[in-house]
Amino acid sequence: MVRFIVKRLLALIPILLGISFVSSMLFYIVPGDIVTVMLGQHVDPLTYANVRKALGLDLPFWENFIRFIQGVFCGDLGYSYIQQRPVNQIILEAVPVSVKMGIMALLINIIVGIPAGILAAINDKRISGRVLNSSSIIIFSFPAFIAAMFMQLILGVKLGWFPVSGSEKGMLSYVLPGLALGLPLSAVNARLARASMLEVMTQEYIISAISRGLPYRRVIIKHGLRNALIPVLTNFGMFVGAFMSGFVLTETVFNLPGMGRLVFSAINARDFPVLRGILFISALFAVLTNLLVDLIYARLDPRIATVIVGENTDAAG
């Protein structure tokens, strides 16, 4: 297991080098002169030269790239000329906001999505199963920002349970964004969990478990659920990987200063050092999450442990 983790962490190096390379190229391939794009047409030559030097654009591409890599090794992602602050500081402020919102959405996903899917599967032939299944389609097809505004209006303004926007009230302020983000995703997961559970329930080992006289509930939970969770976990992995930069809409509606908003404003302001930092951190995050997902896979399914992790999880040796 340790060897597997080390191997995967070593694989991070080329990935991060690649993403740094591509994002450093941004400075050189953006049409027109990047400093002019940032500062406008009428800028005095001295400032122009200063900014150019500050961005390292007076150097050739390779040196610029190597300078960024050197910076990364010292834990420095660069300096945002527009915000007049180090990129590290800017990103560090945004990450916790997005992470908290992501965790909230993930929790709602797990609490709502998986049980709904399993219940829909085991009641497949009954009314309750059909209601669950069609309501997940409705929730999924409902535009997220409209749902978000309805939630703000009802749960926030009318009932006053949760703050409508901002991040001042601790975890409480993340409930509504979490719901707005998590509910449509949990509808996806409910449908995935349902399909996967329905398939598992036709497997021979389930029929065999029933033939051994095990109670139905036990068959569902001990024999069915664990096998059905594997495709759902894949979806979780993709969700978590995307969430560093994909929350633009939710963060805008709920006025949360997270990564999504940061990406948006950085693109708007053509703040390339910040963009490069975000790309770097997102890639790091995505790879680490997928490593975590793989470890959970191996925990859920011993066959994957043998094949992917390359070692037996049992005490056979």
Partner 1 sequence: MEILKVNDLTVYFDTRCRPVKAVDGISFALRRGETLGIVGESGSGKSVTALTVMGLAQSIGARIVSGEVWYDGKNLLSSQDLYRQVRGKKISYIPQEAAPALNPVLQVGKQLGEMLSVHLGLSAGDVRRKTAQLLETVELPQPELVARLYPHQLSGGILQRVLLAMALSCGPDIIIADEPASSLDTTIQAQILRLLGTIKAREGLSLILIAHDLGVIYQNCDRVLIMYGGRIMEAGLTSQILENPLHPYTVSLLETYRCLEEGMKQPGLTKSCPPASRENIPDALGCVFAYRCQRAMDICFLKKAPSLTLDDGRTVSCHHLLHLRQDGNPDARM
Minimum distance of partner 1 from residue 302's CB (angstroms): 4
Minimum distance of partner 1 from residue 301's CB (angstroms): 5
Q: Interface mask (CB under 8 A) for partner 1, residues 266-305, using x and -?
A: ----------------------------------xxxx--
Q: What CA–CA distance (Å, rounded) separates 298 from 180?
A: 31
Give residues with Cβ within 8 angstroms of 25, minimum separation 6: 61
Minimum distance of partner 1 from residue 142's CB (angstroms): 35
Distance of CA 168 to the CA centre of its chain: 23
Q: Check binding of 233 to partner 1 (CB under 8 A).
A: no
The residues in 175-204 that bind partner 1, with binding defined as CB under 8 A, are: 203-204
Q: Check binding of 226 to partner 1 (CB under 8 A).
A: yes
Q: What CA–CA distance (Å, rounded) separates 96 from 230?
A: 28
Part in contact with partner 1 (CB under 8 A); list of ranges 4-12, 242-250, 268-276, 307-315: 307-315
Part in contact with partner 1 (CB under 8 A); list of ranges 11-19, 57-65, 214-222, 282-290: 214-222
Whether 279 contacts 30, CB under 8 Å: no
Q: Check binding of 217 to partner 1 (CB under 8 A).
A: no
Q: Would you say 230 or 248 has its CB closer to partner 1? A: 230
Q: Would you say 280 or 297 has its CB closer to partner 1? A: 297
- Sites of contact with partner 1 (CB under 8 A): 203-215, 218, 222-223, 226-227, 300-303, 306, 312, 314-316
